[in-house]
Amino acid sequence: MIISSLPIALTTLLIAIAFAFYTASAEAQSYNARWASMINQGGICMQKKEYKKAEAFFERSLLESKSFGNRSKEMASSINALAGVHMEQQQWKEAESYLVLALSMREDLLSERDPRIANTCFNLGVCCFNQDKLSEAGHYFERALDTRYSYKSGKPEDPHIADELAWLSKVYARQGRQTDAIDVLEQALSIKRKKLGAAHAETKSLENELDNLKKNAVKRD
């Protein structure tokens, strides 16, 4: 069912992967190296904002990932990279489709506390938020936080946690949950101050967001 909801290009690639077949181990090793090369070149294109080229490299990496098996960490990484291309272009629906599949694979292949699962959940939260799918966005941000807290063994100073808290605050604010929005944003701001310092631009940005939330909460009261 997941595949049927994916973009046609990805569905075609997955069908091609299903029928690909490599016999000799030497050939498989060659394809492994090619997969890494495609991922690296795609990443370089992303840095240059050459999204069409990046997408082409990541699509090729997805085909090459067959050498690791029909469902592998490498295949999930290729699909995740394709999602990144669409996120950078604010193509949220397309990115979400890729991320749902990447998350499904990572859930099967990785520990439930693996930070890569948290990363995928965070990206899904961003995609859902930008489509006004607030319930789904909140779910993914909360799951990312749960995974990250467990991974860090109770050390909440991870900047990723601050980012996830800040996005969760946006969800709560749109849902009219002003008290919850303020609470989680204060937690995010505390982490940013500890990690980046009070004068950092990201810290200042969160301070401004928090001030606005508090002003809006007063107006509602």
Using the predicted structure, report yes or no on whether residue 181 has a pLDDT greater than 90.
yes
Pair (23, 44) in one structural domain: yes
H or E element that contains 121:
helix 115-129
- pLDDT tens-digit series, residues 78-130: 999 999 999 999 999 999 999 999 999 999 999 988 999 999 999 999 999 99
Residue that the structure tokens 């200042």 belong to: 204
Pair (77, 30) in one structural domain: yes
Pair (87, 64) in one structural domain: yes
Pair (75, 132) in one structural domain: no
Q: Which domain holds residue 102?
A: 1-109
| Distinct helix (H) and strand (E) counts, the chain | 10, 0
Pair (123, 96) in one structural domain: no
CATH of the domain at 12: 1.25.40.10
Alpha carbons 160 and 149: distance in angstroms, whole number? 10
Pair (96, 120) in one structural domain: no
The pLDDT of residue 8 is 38
Alpha carbons 79 and 64: distance in angstroms, whole number? 12
- pLDDT tens-digit series, residues 43-89: 999 999 999 999 999 999 999 998 888 899 999 999 999 999 999 99
Q: Please state whether the predicted TM-score (pTM) of the whole model is above 0.85.
A: no
Pair (147, 88) in one structural domain: no
Pair (125, 26) in one structural domain: no
Q: In total, how many domains does the chain have?
A: 2
DSSP state at residue 156: T
The pLDDT of residue 40 is 95
